């Protein structure tokens, strides 16, 4: 399910209204992005409660910093960058508090390489992974992915960010972003195929 906000009003228009003090514009932006922010935060921090806290902190930061937003990147990219910074801070806070981080990285070997080669991704389903009937299950399976793959797949396939924005946001090369996306999609496909008994 996508956001409920009216797609005819551009983000840039809402931001301009918000910068002029229009509270309704803020409500519209929250309506448009809240669910997506929580999903990405959860993909990053691993906990729904912490994800909701991170998302709330993100909106506070938007309110405090929107006057300084100059449109050098899209509002969406700026928003997700704030969220990612807040999420990284939250992860550090959780680790300092002695809470275990979810250890999805064990799927990599000691050199950081993929422990088992991913299943090749079929071109026919590559861009249609989140078909309506599978979207809910795909979201449930996202925590099964290693952290970096989960972030890339969430930003690309769930939130629809362009590849260049994802690379910039996560501070990775375009090639690395493509590899992580491919591996994440392959892992999801393998999990779905296992559940469906290999049905195509």
Residues 82 and 124 in one domain: no
Q: What was the pLDDT predicted at 100?
A: 45
Size (the chain), residues = 200
Comparing C-alpha atoms, which of 152, 176, 131, 196 is closest to residue 40? 152
Whether 1 is in a domain gets the answer no
User: Which domain does 58 fall in, by range?
Assistant: 11-96
Whether 60 is in a domain gets the answer yes
Residues 91 and 151 in one domain: no
Rounded to the nearest angstrom, the gap between the alpha carbon of residue 12 and the centroid of all alpha carbons in its chain is 21
Residues 35 and 63 in one domain: yes
Q: What is the CATH number of the domain that holds 115?
A: 1.10.10.10
Residues 110 and 191 in one domain: yes
Whether 108 is in a domain gets the answer yes
Q: What is the CATH number of the domain that holds 87?
A: 1.10.1740.10
Identify each DSSP E strand in 101-200 by its residue range: none
Last residue of a domain, one of 38, 71, 96: 96
Contacts of 161 (CB under 8 A, 6+ apart): 76, 77, 80, 155, 169
Q: What was the pLDDT predicted at 127?
A: 44
Give pLDDT < 50 ranges for the chain.
Answer: 1-5, 99-107, 117-130, 199-200
Residues 87 and 128 in one domain: no
Whether 3 is in a domain gets the answer no
Residues 46 and 120 in one domain: no
What span, in angstroms and rounded, lies between the C-alpha atoms of 180 and 200? Answer: 24
How many Å is the maximal CA-CA distance in the chain? 55
Please give the tally of structural domains in the chain: 2
Residues 112 and 67 in one domain: no
Residues 88 and 123 in one domain: no
Q: What was the pLDDT predicted at 134?
A: 60
Q: What was the pLDDT predicted at 109?
A: 53
How many beta carbons lie within 10 A of that of residue 38, not counting itself?
18
* pTM of the predicted structure, to 2 decimals: 0.62
């Amino acid at each position: 399910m996508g956001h409920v906000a009216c797609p005819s009003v551009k983000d840039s228009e809402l931001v301009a209204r918000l910068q002029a003090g229009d509270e309704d514009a803020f409500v519209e932006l929250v309506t448009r992005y809240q669910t997506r922010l929580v999903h990405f935060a959860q993909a990053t921090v691993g906990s729904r409660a912490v994800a909701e806290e991170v998302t709330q902190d993100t909106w506070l930061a938007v309110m405090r910093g929107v006057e300084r937003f100059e449109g050098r990147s899209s509002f969406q990219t700026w928003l997700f960058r704030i969220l990612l910074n807040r999420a990284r801070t939250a992860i550090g806070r959780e680790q300092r508090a002695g809470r275990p981080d979810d250890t999805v990285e064990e799927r990599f070997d000691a050199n950081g390489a993929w422990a088992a080669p991913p299943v090749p991704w079929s071109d026919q389903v590559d861009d249609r992974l989140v078909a309506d009937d599978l979207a809910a299950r795909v979201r449930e399976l996202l925590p099964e992915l290693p952290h970096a793959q989960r972030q890339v797949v969430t930003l690309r396939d769930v939130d629809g960010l362009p590849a260049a924005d994802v690379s910039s946001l996560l501070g990775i090369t375009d090639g690395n972003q493509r590899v992580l996306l491919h591996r994440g999609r392959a892992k999801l496909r393998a999990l779905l195929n296992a559940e469906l008994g290999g049905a195509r």
